[in-house]
């Protein structure tokens, strides 16, 4: 990927979606009151929203109290690194037509657990950074 602004640059929305679509693991940040929780999730990005599966428990409970969330995903090689943050609103997928659409995606649990609840995140903010990984400059 070319560098146009030095060793750190902002990603365009299209680049952010490209990284989101090419990857499947992220961290989900939720909050209730003054408590913040972060969970690893595997996800599917379709270019307009993020979909993940979960089981009844803490995530669903907290999302029923506060639907505002953030997810962060990143990656690196020896030459570069990137990070994408999505802020948005989460909603359980409940209509049968939406569940059927979600079932048709390649999204599968990473661990052998029953996760039949889908949650869709509709983004309100999307941002990303791209980093050139080179030696530290002289002081």
Torsion of CA 51, 53, 56, 57, to 10 degrees: -80
From CA 76, how far away is CA 51, in angstroms rounded? 23
Q: How far apart are CA 90 and CA 37, in angstroms?
A: 15
Q: What is the pLDDT at residue 83?
A: 97
Q: Which CATH class is domain 8-132?
A: mainly beta
> How many Å apart are CA 32 and CA 90, to the nearest integer?
14
pLDDT tens column, 33-66: 899 999 999 999 999 999 999 998 889 899 999 9
Calculate what percentage of the chain has a pLDDT beyond 90: 74
- Which pLDDT tens digit goes with each residue over 120-136? 999 999 999 999 887 77
pTM of the model: 0.88
Q: Would you list the DSSP string of 44-97? A: EE-SS-EEEEE-SSHHHHHHHH--EEEEEEEEE-SSEEEEEEEEEEEEE--SHH
Report domain extents, the chain.
8-132
Q: Does the pLDDT of residue 11 top 70, yes or no?
A: yes
């Amino acid at each position: 990927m070319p560098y146009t602004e030095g060793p750190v640059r902002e990603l365009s929305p299209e680049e952010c979606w490209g990284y989101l679509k090419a990857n499947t693991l992220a961290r989900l940040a939720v909050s209730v009151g003054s408590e913040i929780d972060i969970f690893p999730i595997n996800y599917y990005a379709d270019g307009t929203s993020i979909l993940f599966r979960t089981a009844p428990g803490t995530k669903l409970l907290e999302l029923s109290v506060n639907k505002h969330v953030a997810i962060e995903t990143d990656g690196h090689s020896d030459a570069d690194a990137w990070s994408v943050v999505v802020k948005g609103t989460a909603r359980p997928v409940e209509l049968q037509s939406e569940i059927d659409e979600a079932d048709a995606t390649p999204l599968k649990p990473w661990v052998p657990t029953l996760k039949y609840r889908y949650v869709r995140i509709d983004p309100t903010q999307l941002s990303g950074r791209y980093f050139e990984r080179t030696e530290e400059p002289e002081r």
